[in-house]
Amino acid sequence: MNPLLLFVFVLAIYLGLELITKVPSQLHTPLMSGSNAISGITIVGAIIAAGEPGVLATVLGTIAVAAATINVIGGYLVTERMLAMFRAGKDR
Amino acid sequence: MAAWQVFAYIAASILFITGLKMLGRPETAKRGNRVSAVGMFIAVVATLVAGGLDFTWILVGMIVGAAVGAIAARRVKMTEMPEMVALLNGSGGLASMLVGWAEYVRAGEALVAFPTVAITLTVLVGGIAASGSVIAFGKLSERIEGKPILFRGQKTLNAALLALALLAAVVVVLNVVLAGGVAGVGVAFAMLLLLALTLGVLAVIPIGGADMPIVVSLLNSYSGVAAAMAGFVIDNNVLVVAGSLVGASGLILTNIMCKAMNRSLANVLFGGFGATVSTAGAAAQGEVKPLTPEDAYFILEAASSVVFVPGYGMAVAQAQHVVKELADQLVKNGADVRHAIHPVAGSMPGHMNVLLAEANVPYEQLVEPEDVNPAMETVDVAIVIGANDVVNPAAKEDETSPLWGMPIIEVDRARTCFVLKRSMNPGFSGVDNALFFKDNTRMIFGDAKATLTGMVAAFKES
């Protein structure tokens, strides 16, 4: 286990807090669903779990892959759908 | 991990950071979402081709997940978006929880202290995010009672269960450190799983409908943190970076929502807002002045400045398209039309913006409360459509009201205020609304969509 991950964790939280400052309210929902899709990154862990040997781990991993894929695909697509409606806002 | 794989994960992390930054600005939001999707694609491909994995079950999971996700995303109505976001969030939390569990099973006797701590945290946070999101989904889709569910000793029970969950986690970790493995603590681990899921349920049931935007964004933050914890479990930077970013952005959104209600996060989470307040605050009294849509037309016809104030009721009635129609008629009639959107109107952050955008309402007509409040006296008609707490004057007039201090859209100061409402029932918070009894308020009872359609028809006939 690599203690450097803690360092990365703290820096990434700090970066996240600095990254998004004033968000106009029209973007609140897309920001939420778009970042929600990013939290589907856990799919990487799910893939590893589903692909390694061991029956129980494979079962859990497969369900995790399915759930994470729903999160990723669904999250990006609904965000795309919503942003496509904000045409007028994009012109500015 | 091979060097190329490290580079691929770095690239993915940078794309997530860039994408998220772009998602926060109107001009770049659409590209930002795609940039972050490319990052996700790179991360997934880099994981798949790293080798040593049996693809059979991975593909099964991906195909099922992709089909469900794509169909749901395509079919969901804009009015149902809060429920959809809650479910997507729940599936992310569930996935992280299962990753922690699977790793615990797989590593077995080879586990050492630090990853075990990470596993227990992943299971705890992921489980809370998963079951909490399911309850939020139930409340948002009205499958479960939307009012806060409170009982005696609730806080004590929650605190005790959390303490028990942490104790179970400590037992699991100590066993790994002292006895060198997972044998003998299956019960403790199972308890941790069950307690995490129970805590998620108990954490969300006491929270009322008015606070759902805060809960949805907070659960979003939790699922990000759970993914970051899963990154510690499998020793992977990209999960830590992406998960932390989501955790942080969810917190920022949560904070924006809390500020818009003038409440602290603790007050939202533990307050049980809305269940105990029916006796608090001065009961609003007075004479209600109803109005028919036909009479409303004559007032609107003479108005030169109109402000729409949409709320949850507009979503329920799916009235956003007819709002746009009426707005178009008013503009044609020479009136200045704006839509004032309160940050917590509806049941998720930005809910009203999404609906009005769906109806093609021009972005220029959308304004925030602070844009419209200073010149409210010059507004001829304010049309409140299914909004309640966010226009309740008790927030400025009644210090005993639970809404006291919350920034509102001050429609009571407009020359005339129409309130479109199905009945005299109070809003999410259960607080009476003195606005309904003000001299310049006219109540138009009935389904908002039907009422607005009637007004549009009156304009067209003239």
Task: Give how far B109 is from chain A: nearest CA, Å.
Answer: 14
Q: What is the ipTM, given to two decimal places?
A: 0.94
**Nearest residue, CB atoms, B244 vs list A13, A46, A73:** A13
Q: Specify the 3-state DSSP secondary structure of B441.
A: strand
pLDDT at B278: 42
**Nearest residue, CB atoms, A30 vs list B23, B101, B234:** B23
Cβ contact B378:B296 at 8 Å: no
Q: Do B227 and A46 touch (CB under 8 A)?
A: no
Chain B stretch 351-380, residues whose beta carbon is closer than 8 A to a beta carbon of chain A: 351, 353-354, 357-358, 360, 362-364, 366, 368
pLDDT at B283: 57
Q: How is domain B293-461 classified at the CATH fold level? A: Rossmann fold (3.40.50)
| Chains A & B: contacts with CB separation below 8 Å | 389
pLDDT at A57: 92
Cβ contact A23:A36 at 8 Å: no
Task: Give how far A37 is from chain B: nearest CA, Å.
Answer: 8
Token duo for residue B372: 């419209």
Residues linked to residue B62 through DSSP beta bridges, in sequence order: none
pLDDT by residue (tens digit) across A30-71?
999 999 999 999 999 999 999 988 899 999 999 999 999 999
Q: Please state the length of chain B.
A: 462
Chain B stretch 83-142, residues whose beta carbon is closer than 8 A to a beta carbon of chain A: 84-85, 88-89, 91-92, 94-96, 98-99, 101-103, 105-106, 112, 114-115, 118
Residue of A nearest to B251 (CA): A17
Residue of B nearest to A46 (CA): B99
- Model confidence at A90: pLDDT above 60: no
* Helical spans, DSSP H, in B150-292: 154-179, 186-204, 212-233, 237-260, 265-270
Q: Do B20 and A19 touch (CB under 8 A)?
A: yes
The burial class, CB within 10 Å (0-12 / 13-18 / 19+), for B145 is exposed
Cβ contact B35:A36 at 8 Å: no
Nearby residues of B365 by Cβ (< 8 Å), 6 or more positions away = B327, B337, B338, B339
- Model confidence at A12: pLDDT above 90: yes
Residues of chain A contacting residue B102, judged by C-beta atoms under 8 Å apart: 46, 49-50, 56-57, 60-61, 64
- How many Å apart are CA B92 and CA B225, to the nearest integer? 11
Token duo for residue A61: 């991993």
Residue of B nearest to A16 (CA): B245
pLDDT at B60: 96
pLDDT at A1: 56
Q: Do B66 and A12 touch (CB under 8 A)?
A: no
Residues of chain B contacting residue A72, judged by C-beta atoms under 8 Å apart: 40, 65, 69
| Sequential DSSP letters for B347-396 | SSTTHHHHHHHHTT--GGGEE-HHHHSTTGGG-SEEEEES--GGG-THHH
Nearby residues of B138 by Cβ (< 8 Å), 6 or more positions away = B144
What is the Cα Rg of chain A in Å? 17
Residues of chain B contacting residue A20, judged by C-beta atoms under 8 Å apart: 20-21, 24, 248-249, 252
- How many Å apart are CA A37 and CA A26, to the nearest integer? 18
Residues of chain B contacting residue A50, judged by C-beta atoms under 8 Å apart: 57-58, 61, 102
Q: Where are the domains of chain B?
A: 1-75, 81-270, 293-461
* Whole-prediction pTM: 0.89
- How many Å apart are CA B376 and CA B398, to the nearest integer? 20
Q: Do B350 and A28 touch (CB under 8 A)?
A: yes
Q: Which residues of chain B have pLDDT under 50?
A: 274-281
pLDDT at B272: 55
The burial class, CB within 10 Å (0-12 / 13-18 / 19+), for B211 is buried
pLDDT at B40: 97
Task: Give how far A86 is from chain B: nearest CA, Å.
Answer: 6
| B337 closest CA partner among B346, B324, B322 | B324
Q: Do B23 and A27 touch (CB under 8 A)?
A: yes
Nearby residues of B462 by Cβ (< 8 Å), 6 or more positions away = B297, B301
